[in-house]
Amino acid sequence: MRSLIKLGVSDGLAIFCASGFIKNTSKGPCRSSKTKGISNAFLARQGLMSLKDLWINIHYSS
């Protein structure tokens, strides 16, 4: 929970995700990461590229 709050996740969402609700899901870590507050916007702010956007630029650039 503290790690999520340090990453900028709201207190309420961090508490929800740290509780048993998320641990008992059948989703894997990648599918549940969106629920845990790690969005594409957050990853972009960290300086990471979107592989989808990169692929589109390579294949559809003129």
Locate the domains of the chain by residue range: 2-60
Q: State yes or no: pLDDT of 53 exceeds 70.
A: yes
Report pLDDT for 28.
58
With DSSP H G I counted as helix, E B as strand and the rest as coil, what are the percentages for the chain, rounded to 5? 60, 0, 40
- pLDDT value for 40: 78
Higher pLDDT, 7 or 17: 7
Cα(41)–Cα(6) distance, integer angstroms: 16
Query: pTM of the predicted model, to two decimals?
Result: 0.36
Split at pLDDT 50, 70, 90, the class of 33 is low
